[in-house]
């Protein structure tokens, strides 16, 4: 095996210290293959290069190693934490990887109740501000010390349900401070007994403070203490013959008791816990995370790891080098999830797991967070019920994923067969689809979406700002985007195939062009979708980037003819171009496919799996184009407000200017004579516009 590696690499391996650390393997293109940890770097890394591993998965990985990097740490716990930080950052091909790019939502109570001006003797009943009555709200983002946060919650739905409970029981306000400051009479929430009406002084600051504190205790799981405190306050009011206040507290206790009965959870033991169940089937895996906060089961969330089979093979090899029995793949997956998921996420004191996880991992988490964490396997009583629920949901989510993937593969096969295509591999079949979007010629933008490996690859989507054309000319816009997308690829393919840029990266404009992916950050593949991370472009003949197997354009013969002209000029294959033409009455399911190479139009049938896939890709291109166009239009119109500040320019004249010149930039670059040629704009006003924009 060492014969395929450079002398420099082998020398670096021989010089490694016998200390704990983390190592990274890279291929010849600089891609990260694997990130691993070791108690003894020299022993572990050397074992990879000491024998021939044949055609196994581990052998295939080792044959691709061209370079390595190592980091020495002080302990195995440090190595474990660093390893998983690097896995999340570098996306290696042979590690189990969990994608979780969404932040978790929280329930937020604005202001710290003990610090707001409740007891300010100078504040009268009519002089209280919004700060004196903290509001409860949904929140997603980084937390601070100015407010109180509860969570994290597994979903937005769980947060909103908790807010509704607080409204029913404690009647805390949810309105914005600006709304609060301008109310003169109670809102509808007060009428339906979901708010105590602090905006119009229908509750005293002291009573509202008690409600806030009780709400926080309820969220922490101290429900019995809350009931006892409410009962004590009710008795006090009754003794003072304040029967209305006592009745309000009685109603509050009744509402809280009803909520606790509906929740049906044990509030006597675990207040905060995460329940983790793993299921593996058909080469895929699912980890289901259920959250218990304040003794309440808040729901669950599935995660689907990538690279399960490749990573398991390498992990088994590592276990063999440690002379330890190979871990079941379920254990490997769950330990990878725990190590990666809790990076930057609060860890509850109790983890309830479907398989036993290693003590060093739990100890490392405890060291990292400063919280004593207890991992429980084979739980009893209420914990057992939670775990059984999580295991059932993991199985259901995995079955759904496998069914969806099987359906997508069937659709891909149906499309290939319907169009008589012959891709090198069905799994590598690649489709790129284009759409044009604008509003009466304003803010024209083209989108390109990619379907590859039987799924939409949103990490490879691109947007193209279209300039220099007559506003509203969709054909010219299509010509421009196709030329920009494929011209460099065609030129590189003719001159030097190995120099061709990868598909999806051929546009690299300056920042001011706001082109390609610079328009807005794109959503990365997420844990919920089970989508694989970005892959390198498919190649033919040993590595040269290639044209997609199918290029879809949203339009009929006109758009296809324009695409045909572009491809003919570039010397590209015309047979890959297919237009999606609207059917009679623009009804869904009646679309026809138009070909650039002269074939007759094809109607696949409204129940065709192939047409379902074409419609899915076309609709995604349309959605992506519209969202980008709206964002760009908003930017243009923010600039366009400068026009309305000019005396004599109203909404109609502004709209004519923007439509004529394609946006505020076009107006700014136009001369006085050009501006004066617009309907309703005289010479004097044109000069005023020119001066204002320069």
Instruction: Give the angle 310-311-314 at the CA atoms, nearest 5°.
Output: 95
pLDDT of residue 493: 63
Task: For residues 455-468, give the mean pLDDT.
Answer: 87
Which domains are delineated in the chain?
2-90 (3.40.1440.10), 105-220 (no CATH), 272-399 (3.30.420), 419-631 (3.30.420.340), 645-693 (1.10.150.20)
- Tell whether the model's pLDDT for residue 70 goes beyond 90: yes
> What 8-state DSSP symbol labels residue 523?
P
- Tell whether the model's pLDDT for residue 128 goes beyond 70: no
- Tell whether the model's pLDDT for residue 23 goes beyond 90: yes
Distance from C-alpha of 234 to C-alpha of 243, rounded to nearest angstrom: 9
Task: For residues 171-192, give the mean pLDDT.
Answer: 87
Task: For residues 70-74, give the mean pLDDT.
Answer: 90
- Tell whether the model's pLDDT for residue 528 goes beyond 70: no
Closest-CA residue to 367 (of 347, 340, 337): 347
Tens digit of each residue's pLDDT (9 = 90 or more) over 590-612: 788 889 888 888 888 777 888 88
Query: Within 10 A of 106 (CB to CB), how many other CB atoms are there?
Result: 21
Query: Three-state SS for 215?
Result: helix
Task: For residues 345-350, give the mean pLDDT.
Answer: 85
More confident residue, 230 or 189: 189
Question: pLDDT tier at 256 (50, 70, 90 boundaries)?
Answer: low
Question: pLDDT tier at 441 (50, 70, 90 boundaries)?
Answer: low
Distance from C-alpha of 538 to C-alpha of 549, rounded to nearest angstrom: 10
- Tell whether the model's pLDDT for residue 352 goes beyond 90: yes
Closest-CA residue to 152 (of 136, 163, 134, 139): 139
Comparing 199-213, 257-271, 504-518, the range with the smallest average pLDDT is 504-518
Distances (CA, A) of 580 to 419, 512, 621, 632: 13, 33, 12, 26
Helix 41-48 to helix 308-321 angle (10° resolution) is 120
Task: For residues 412-439, give the mean pLDDT.
Answer: 85
Distance from C-alpha of 549 to C-alpha of 428, rounded to nearest angstrom: 9
Question: pLDDT tier at 387 (50, 70, 90 boundaries)?
Answer: very high
- Please, where are the H alpha helices in 440-575? 474-495, 557-570
More confident residue, 589 or 456: 456
pTM for the full model? 0.60
Owner of token pair 């479907």: 354
Torsion of CA 516, 521, 522, 526, to 10 degrees: 160
- Tell whether the model's pLDDT for residue 433 goes beyond 90: yes
- Tell whether the model's pLDDT for residue 266 goes beyond 50: no
pLDDT of residue 496: 52
Task: For residues 30-57, give the mean pLDDT.
Answer: 85
Comparing 1-5, 157-161, 187-191, 589-593, the range with the smallest average pLDDT is 1-5
Listed in order, strand segments (DSSP E) in 101-153 are: 105-109, 136-140, 148-150
Distance from C-alpha of 419 to C-alpha of 508, rounded to nearest angstrom: 33
Q: What is the mean pLDDT of the chain?
A: 78
Owner of token pair 């006085």: 672
- Tell whether the model's pLDDT for residue 516 goes beyond 60: no
Task: For residues 634-644, give the mean pLDDT.
Answer: 55
pLDDT of residue 633: 61
More confident residue, 259 or 520: 259
| β-bridge pairing 350-353 and 374-377 | parallel
Task: For residues 656-668, give the mean pLDDT.
Answer: 78
Q: What percent of the chain has pLDDT over 90?
A: 15
- Tell whether the model's pLDDT for residue 16 goes beyond 60: yes
Q: What are the residues whose beta carbons fall under 8 Å from the beta carbon of 48, sequence distance 6 or more? A: 62, 65
Task: For residues 209-232, give the mean pLDDT.
Answer: 78
């Amino acid at each position: 095996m060492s014969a395929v590696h450079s002398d420099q690499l082998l020398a670096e391996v021989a010089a490694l210290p016998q200390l704990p650390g983390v190592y990274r393997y890279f291929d010849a293109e600089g891609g990260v293959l694997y990130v691993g940890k070791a108690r003894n770097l020299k022993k572990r890394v050397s074992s990879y290069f000491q024998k021939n591993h044949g055609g196994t998965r581990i052998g295939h990985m080792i044959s691709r190693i061209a370079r390595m990097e190592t980091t020495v740490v002080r302990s195995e716990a440090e190595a474990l934490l660093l390893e998983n930080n690097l896995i999340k950052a570098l996306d290696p091909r042979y590690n189990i990887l969990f994608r979780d790019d969404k932040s978790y939502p929280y329930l937020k109570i604005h202001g710290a109740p003990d610090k707001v001006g409740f007891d300010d003797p100078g504040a009268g009943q009519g002089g209280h501000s919004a700060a004196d009555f903290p509001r409860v709200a949904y929140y997603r983002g980084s937390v601070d010390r100015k407010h109180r946060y509860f969570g994290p919650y597994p979903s937005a739905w769980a947060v909103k349900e908790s807010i509704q409970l607080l409204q029913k029981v404690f009647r805390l306000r949810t309105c914005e401070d600006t709304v609060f400051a301008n109310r003169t009479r109670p809102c509808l929430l007060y009428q339906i007994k979901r708010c105590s009406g602090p905006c119009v002084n229908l509750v005293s600051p002291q009573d509202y403070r008690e409600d806030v504190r009780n709400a926080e205790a309820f969220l922490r799981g101290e429900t019995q203490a809350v009931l006892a405190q409410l009962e004590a306050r009710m008795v006090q009011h009754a003794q003072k013959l304040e029967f209305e206040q006592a009745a309000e507290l009685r109603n509050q206790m009744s509402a809280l008791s009803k909520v606790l009965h509906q929740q049906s959870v044990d509030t006597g033991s675990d207040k905060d816990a995460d329940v983790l169940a793993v299921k593996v089937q058909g080469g895929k895996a699912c980890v289901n995370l259920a959250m218990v906060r304040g003794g309440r089961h808040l729901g669950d969330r599935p995660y689907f790891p990538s690279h399960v089979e490749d990573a398991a093979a390498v992990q088994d090899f590592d276990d063999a080098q440690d002379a330890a029995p190979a871990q079941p793949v379920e254990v490997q997956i769950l330990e990878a999830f725990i190590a990666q998921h809790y990076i930057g996420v609060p860890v509850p004191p109790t983890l309830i797991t479907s398989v036993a996880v290693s003590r060093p991992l739990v100890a490392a988490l405890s060291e990292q967070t400063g919280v004593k964490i207890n991992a429980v396997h084979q739980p009893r009583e209420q914990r057992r019920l939670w775990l059984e629920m999580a295991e059932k949901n993991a199985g259901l989510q995995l079955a759904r994923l496998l069914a969806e993937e099987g359906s997508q593969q069937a659709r891909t096969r149906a499309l290939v067969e319907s169009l008589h295509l012959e891709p090198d591999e069905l799994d590598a079949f690649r489709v790129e689809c284009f759409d044009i979007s604008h509003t009466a010629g304003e803010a024209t933008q083209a989108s390109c979406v990619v379907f590859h490996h039987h799924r939409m690859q949103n990490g490879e989507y691109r947007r193209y700002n279209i300039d220099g054309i007559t506003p509203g000319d969709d054909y010219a816009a299509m010509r421009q985007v196709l030329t920009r997308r494929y011209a460099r690829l065609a030129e590189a393919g003719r001159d030097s195939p190995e120099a061709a840029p990868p598909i999806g990266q051929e546009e690299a404009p300056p920042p001011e062009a706001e082109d390609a992916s610079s328009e807005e950050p794109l959503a990365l593949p997420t844990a919920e979708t089970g989508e694989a991370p970005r892959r390198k472009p498919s190649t033919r003949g040993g590595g040269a980037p290639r044209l997609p197997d199918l290029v879809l354009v949203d339009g009929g013969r006109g758009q296809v003819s324009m695409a045909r002209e572009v491809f003919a000029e570039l010397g590209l294959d015309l047979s890959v171009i297919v237009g999606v033409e609207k059917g009679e009455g623009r009804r869904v399911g009646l679309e026809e496919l138009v070909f650039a190479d002269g074939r007759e139009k094809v109607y696949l049938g409204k129940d065709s799996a192939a047409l379902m896939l074409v419609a899915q890709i076309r609709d995604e291109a349309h959605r992506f184009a519209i969202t980008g166009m709206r964002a760009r239009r908003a930017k243009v119109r923010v600039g366009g407000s400068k026009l309305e500040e000019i005396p004599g320019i109203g909404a109609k004249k502004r709209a004519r200017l923007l439509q004529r010149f394609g946006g505020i930039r076009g107006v700014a670059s136009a001369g006085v004579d050009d501006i004066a040629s617009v309907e309703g704009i005289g010479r004097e006003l044109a000069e005023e516009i020119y001066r204002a924009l320069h």
